[in-house]
Structure 1
C-alpha cells in the first residue's frame, strides 16, 4: 500500500475554518433566539427552546471547535512528476491520484477570510472534476500552482 502524502496545509487553516463555521453557526443561534421569542409570543411548549439551544450548542462545539482541527490533521498532499496525490476526510478518508496528463488548468483562490491569514487554495481542474488543496500559505500556493502547471505542460509535450 502506498504511503500517505507528506505535505500538510497551513496551520492557520484551523482559524480560517473556525471563523467560517462561526458565521454559519451564528445564523443557527439567531434561529434559536427566534424560536425562543416565538415560544413566548405564541405560547408554544417550552421544550422547543430547550431543543433549539441544545442543537445550537452541539453544532457550535462540533463545527467550530472539533471539525476544523480534525479536518486539518487529515489533509495531506504531495506532487510527483506524473501525478498529484491528495488525501482528506475525517470518517471516510479519500485518497485521490490526479494524473498530470489529465490536468487542464491550475488556479489559486483566496476569499476574504483566507486573505486575512495570508492563505490561498489551489484548485486543479481536469475534464472530469476539480480537486482542491485548501488553505496553503500564499507563497506555497503560488509555487505549487506554478509547479503543477509546469509538470502538466511537460507531460503534454511528451505525448
Structure 2
C-alpha cells in the first residue's frame, strides 16, 4: 500500500468543529429537555400513575449521561478528528485519510475528477476556513477545514492537473 498522506488540515478545524458540535447539540438537547420538563410539569399536578413511578435518580443519571455525551462530542471528537485527517495531492491522485474509530482512506484518480469547488459556511468563515469538494461521476469527496489561501491553491492545483490529464488523452 502507498505511504500515508502527510498534509494536515488547518489547526482551526478543532475550534470550528467544536462550535459546530455545540450548535448542532443545542438543536437536539434543548428541545428534548424542554419536552421532558413540560411532560413532568403537566403530570406533577395530576394523579397519573406515570408521575408516581418517576425515578428522579434515573432522570438525573440520564441527564448527566446526555450532558457527558454532548460535551465529549463537542470537545474530544474534534481533536481526534483533526489528528486523523490527512491528505495529499499528486499528479495521479488525491489521497485522503480520515476516521476516528475506523480509518477510511480514499484515492481519487485525477482523471476521474469532474469539477472542484470551495465551500465556506458561517462557522468556517468565522475561523477563516474553507472546504474543497471534489466531484466525480460517482460521488463527491471533501477535504475540510483548510485556510482560505490553501483551499484556493488546492482547488486551482487540482483543476490544473485535471485539465492537463484530460488534454493528454
Interval of TM-score (by shorter of Structure 1 and Structure 2):
over 0.9
Paired with 2:65 and 2:38, the residues of 1 have a C-alpha distance of: 17
Paired with 2:106 and 2:79, the residues of 1 have a C-alpha distance of: 21
More displaced 10-residue stretch of structure 1: 142-151 or 44-53: 44-53
The corresponding residue for 1:155 is 165
User: How many residues get paired?
Assistant: 159
- Aligned to 1:3, what secondary structure does the other structure show? coil
CA contact (8 A) 1:35 1:48 kept: no
Paired with 2:11 and 2:34, the residues of 1 have a C-alpha distance of: 34
The corresponding residue for 1:98 is 108
CA contact (8 A) 1:10 1:136 kept: yes
Paired with 1:120 and 1:23, the residues of 2 have a C-alpha distance of: 19
Paired with 1:64 and 1:7, the residues of 2 have a C-alpha distance of: 24
Paired with 1:104 and 1:28, the residues of 2 have a C-alpha distance of: 37
TM-score (norm 2): 0.88
- Aligned to 1:81, what secondary structure does the other structure show? coil
- Answering whether residue 27 of structure 2 is matched by residue 17 of structure 1, we say no
Out of 80, 89, 93, which is 1:70 matched to? 80
More displaced 10-residue stretch of structure 1: 50-59 or 117-126: 50-59
> What are structure 2's unaligned runs of at least 5 residues?
45-50
| RMSD (Å), alpha carbons | 1.5
Paired with 1:48 and 1:124, the residues of 2 have a C-alpha distance of: 47
CA contact (8 A) 1:106 1:123 kept: yes
- Aligned to 1:140, what secondary structure does the other structure show? helix
The corresponding residue for 1:36 is 37
